[in-house]
Amino acid sequence: MEECCSTKTKKEHLHTEGDGHDHGHSHDAGNQSAFQMFLPAIISFVLLLIGIALDNYIKPDWFSGGIRLVWYLISYVPVGLPVLKEAFESIIKGDVFSEFFLMGIATIGAFAIGEYPEGVAVMLFYSVGEVFQSLAVTRAKSNIKALLDQRPDEVTVLKDGQPYIVKAETVSIGEIIQLKSGEKLGLDGELLSETASFNTAALTGESKPDTKIKGDPVLAGMINLNTVSQVKVTTAYKDSKLSKILELVQNATAQKAPTELFIRKFAKIYTPIVVFLAIGIALLPYFFIADYQFKDWLYRALIFLVISCPCALVISIPLGYFGGIGAGSRNGILFKGSNFLDVLANVQNVVMDKTGTMTEGVFKVQEVDFKTNFDKNEMLKWVNALESKSTHPVATAIHDYVGEVDHSVPLENVEEIPGHGLKAMINGKELLVGNFKLMDKFDVSYDMKPENIVYTLIAVAYDRNFAGYLTIADSIKPDAKLTIDKLKSLGVKATMLSGDKTSVVQYVADALGIQNAYGDLLPEDKVNKVKEIKAKNQSVAFVGDGVNDAPVVALSDVGIAMGGLGSDATIETADVVIQDDMPSKIPMAINIGKQTKKIVWQNIILAFAVKGVVLILGAGGLATMWEAVFADVGVALLAILNAVRIQRMKF
């Protein structure tokens, strides 16, 4: 899909994709009023009522024979013609046994045996059901479609101090946008104004104002809340975070859940079977029943066809999953497919990274301790220069503590050693900055016990001599404890894995109530820990940054990325993206999965139970067309009403 396609094209694409059920009436649901959609049914209903009144109450002599047939045919056309057209188009495409085909045969058959009012009534109720389904689908998609309206098509660009309104996709990186109060930002950029407050609900689901200061990144979809602000564009229109989120949400329905895939396959096998069974019901009794009346048995076969229509299953199940995806997006949780809702519903273990997931990931230097034979200021200058080559949060903490990087430091052969730290040559001698495993790896001896210090330790060695260390502390997120409590209430085990030192990891684990926590882990150690859990035939969701932990994410059943707004790669890598860094969204995502699955299975059981009973009654001649209509349209509507419930649930 082209990211730069127009909003209108995107909306149309989203509206039709993932329906899983190609309703004739549903394609234009977004462009028609409810009255327009119901108008054919209203016309048909009025003509049918008049016909029934003429048949049973007024009984004029002229209302018989050809006139009576024509009257009911005219009543049938507004609701029947679109369905017959869909049936014909489906047959041309090779899909002979569609629900439109079933309804067409059933109602035409009713006319063939002289049951005109019932033929019209069945198609009328079916069409009304279709309209309700279309409205339900449109409503279910409104949460997700609302995202598509979050990005303005036009922005105000400043050129030589003069404002010009231009198309957002034409704006180049480096240009300056002027943003008025209440206006939405069209592209990602850097705030040039001293301070500004933004509503980030479009991206995070949180409407709480977020105050930014000069130099902070601001993203497309954010709404400026106070004074006029200026933003320097840093990302092309098609590469903005919002563009990526929109594409992700649009493609979400392409990933089908196993239940959904099964129902689709089932419908393709089930429908031809019931057609042949209906033929059998109409013809086989001839060989076994003495007073066989073809008209009676054909009527039973037609009832059987109406009842057997798999509409309730084929529409309500995708709608249920779509409702789950919509409920997630409304709460700042993006599911890349309905299959991940199913996986999360059954997940037994949540394995999480510590830094940036359960803790803020904002480190601050607490203590600096260097040996007296080393110049503290010089060592800090070197450490700062070397750490500037890393994107790890520790590097940011050191930079904040030391200040500007001195680019005159003669660093050579800089090398990052995964899970250990950094190595470089300065003045022909080796500088090591990292954890104490790095010291052990290079046989650097030290006269202290790292395990006795709770804080994260950054050890420094020069020329294979231990120079000293810095302690760095991170704070636990406010909702981290609530997250673990909720996971326990859902029956999900929590495990924390980290490359940080064991004492720090254990301290955080004890504070949160996590029983299984492991520190001092290399990336491959994390993989082995997850393999150990999976070896017990248990499902695993891994929560991390989605980039550094790529091997673990690939191994887990579902990868959840925290802080999707912070990393482009996160949105690409993870199966589920939590957009606002709040760990409490992890149990919320699991709960959405559980509720979605529960509703889907309620609909499956309801549809099979009611249809099964009425099918038996219909085949035995104990059910009329009216029971058949309830078994098809009534059950479909009940299933749809049940499916849209998830959008109103509080998680």
Using the 8-state DSSP alphabet, how is residue 58 labeled? I
Say how many CA atoms lie within 13 Å of 322 toward its Cβ.
30
Q: Identify the three-state secondary structure at position 338.
A: helix
Catalytic residue among 210, 353, 545, 557: 353
- How far apart CA 428 and CA 550 sit, in angstroms, is 35
Half-sphere exposure of 455 (CA within 13 A, CB side): 17
Residue 92 phi, psi (nearest 5): -60, -35
Nearest to 455 by CA among 410, 397, 377, 535: 397
Break the chain down into helix, strand, coil percent, rounded to 5: 55, 15, 30
| The pairing of beta strand 209-213 with beta strand 411-417 | unpaired
How many CB atoms neighbour CB 404 within 10 A?
A: 8
**In DSSP terms, which residues pair with 334 in a beta bridge?**
577
Q: Is 353 a catalytic residue?
A: yes
Distances (CA, A) of 58 to 66, 76, 115, 580: 18, 21, 19, 68
Start-to-end CA span in the chain (Å): 32
Helix (H) or strand (E) holding 426: strand 421-426
3-class DSSP string for 484-534: HHHHHHCCCEEEEECCCCHHHHHHHHHHHCCCEEECCCCHHHHHHHHHHHH
Structure tokens, 485: 């409590």
Give the residue numbers annotated as catalytic, written as ranges. Answer: 353
